[in-house]
Amino acid sequence: MTLPADHAGLVDRIYEAALVPQLWPELLGALSAVSGGERGVLFAVRDGYASGIVSPGWEELLQVFMRDWAHRDPLLASAHKKNHAGFLTDRDLVGADVIATHPIYREFYRPSGMGFRAGTLIPIPSGDMISILLPRHHDLGPIPPEVVEALDGLRPHMARAAMTANRIGFERAKAQTDTLQALGLPGAVLRGAGRVFAANALFDALVPAVFQDRAQRLTIADRAADVMFADAVASLPAAPAVRSIPVAGTEGVLPMVLHLIPVRGSAQDIFTQAIAILVATPVDRARVPTAEVLQGLFDLTPAEARVARGIGEAQSVDSIASALGVSRETVRSQLKEVLSKTGLSRQQELISLLAGKAIPAGREF
């Protein structure tokens, strides 16, 4: 089917968005116009709807959908079963009774101006899928076959754009890990629920002694550190703060501190689903790190870093307070913050970590 003249530039816009992901929201609106709608939605699909981007003006509706309705949408499972390399409409996926009675239609889609939809699933090399949904108002009626035909004519371009965006995202992630390699730091970019998307050779060398790259997520051999790591990953992106995680040393492997740095703002990319950069900083067994190094390792304040170094040198709280000219209570308060930020529960654990020893058994969290 030949596209109308006012849609003829869509192919160019699709490939432009492949190179500049920030253009997708406006493009989705233009694509939706083919079906008689005004706005479109693009989802990353991984065991359900993982995240999404929408045309301008629907951001709040997307949040409501992800929070209240994503797990109740009957169309996604049906689309997976169909495994159709093209666009499908609501009527292709569910019966008329579902469209008429299902709560998601009655309570969300229709009140939101999304009565009928055309959508497609596009596999991408990362193993996930991209879902593009183009709704139009219920009053316009079901989406006709000629519109589906027009969208199918555009779908190969959408698929190539999605794969291009995914590949560009990978190259960008690899460049970040290569920069860390140049600094002598093992590093990886994590995606989704904590799987490795790209890693440098220094990070790869720590597998499997320190890390195991499993199907669900990256895991850490140090079980206590892995508990903290799993919690930190699960908290993203709701708690976008840098998390520092101590990992005990083993025979032949230095103790280290892992820094989980959230991916924020324009660096976020729905085609790669990158969530964080993981940087491993080995702790030198030969000496206790300086206060400046400790401050960077664990995101401590200067005062907390000085207390941490004193503890690492096995100084008492009283001696640290005297040397710094502060009260004993101040040092104890700062030490409490240090333990919290390092993920440790006892003073002796901090001494052991900074001295390059294994963390004593029986750690409490």
76-110 pLDDT, tens digit each: 999 999 999 999 999 999 988 998 899 999 999 98
Q: Is residue 7's pLDDT more than 80?
A: no
| 90 and 214 share one domain | no
Q: Is there a domain that residue 139 lies in?
A: yes
The span from the CA of 58 to the CA of 83, in Å, is 28
Closest residue by Cα to residue 118 from 146, 152, 143, 141:
143
Question: pLDDT tens digit string along 13-27?
Answer: 998 988 887 889 999
**Position of tokens 């869509």?**
10
**Is residue 360 situated within a structural domain?**
no
Q: Domain holding 83: CATH number?
A: 3.30.450.80
- What is the reported pLDDT for 353? 66
Domain end among 124, 145, 166: 166
Q: Does residue 132 share a domain with residue 66? A: yes
Domain that holds residue 241: 168-354
Q: For the purposes of burial, counting CB atoms within 10 Å of the CB of 190, is it exposed (0-12), middle (13-18) or buried (19 or more)?
A: buried
Q: Is the pLDDT of residue 318 over 80?
A: yes
Task: Write phi, then psi, for 88 (nearest 5 degrees).
Answer: -130, 150
Structure tokens at 105: 């239609």
pLDDT digit string, tens, across residues 298-314: 678 889 888 988 887 88
- Does residue 285 have a pLDDT over 60? no
Same domain, yes or no: 158 and 172? no
Kindly report whether the peptide bond that precedes residue 255 is cis, defined as omega within 30 degrees of 0.
Answer: no
Mean pLDDT of 252-270: 73
* All residues at 6 or more sequence positions from 265 whose CB lies less than 8 Å from its CB, including other chains: none
- Nearest 5 degrees, angle CA 73-CA 121-CA 196? 95
> Each residue of 204-219: b (16+ CB within 10 Å) or e?
eebbeebbeeeeebbb
Could you give the number of structural domains in the chain?
A: 2
For residues 182 and 150, membership in a common domain is answered with no
Q: 268: domain CATH number?
A: 1.10.10.10
pLDDT of residue 101: 92
**pLDDT at position 287, please?**
56
Q: Rounded to whole angstroms, how far apart are CA atoms 128 and 170?
A: 14
Same-domain status, 227 and 196: yes
Q: What confidence score (pLDDT) does residue 284 get? A: 60
Per-residue 3-state assignment (H helix, E strand, C coil) for the chain:
CCCCHHHCCHHHHHHHHHHCHHHHHHHHHHHHHHCCCCCCEEEEECCCEEEEEECCCCHHHHHHHHHHHHHHCCHHHHHHHHCCCCCEEHHHHCCHHHHHHCHHHHHHHCCCCCCEEEEEEEECCCCCEEEEEEEECHHHCCCCHHHHHHHHHHHHHHHHHHHHHHHHHHHHHHHHHHHHHHCCCCEEEEECCCEEEEECHHHHCCCCCCEEECCCCEEECCHHHHHHHHHHHHCCCCCCCCEEEEECCECCECCEEEEEEECCHHHCCCCCCEEEEEEEEECCCCCCCCHHHHHHHHCCCHHHHHHHHHHHCCCCHHHHHHHHCCCHHHHHHHHHHHHHHHCCCCHHHHHHHHCCCCCCCCCCC
Q: What is the pLDDT of the chain when averaged over all its residues? A: 83
- Which of 146, 166, 186 is where one domain is finished? 166
Q: Report CA-CA distances (Å) from 336 to 322, 352, 356.
A: 18, 16, 21
Q: Is the pLDDT of residue 297 over 70?
A: no
| Residue that terminates a domain, selected from 115, 149, 166 | 166
Query: Does 313 map to a domain?
Result: yes
Domain-located, residue 132: yes
Residues 141 and 180 occupy one common structural domain: no
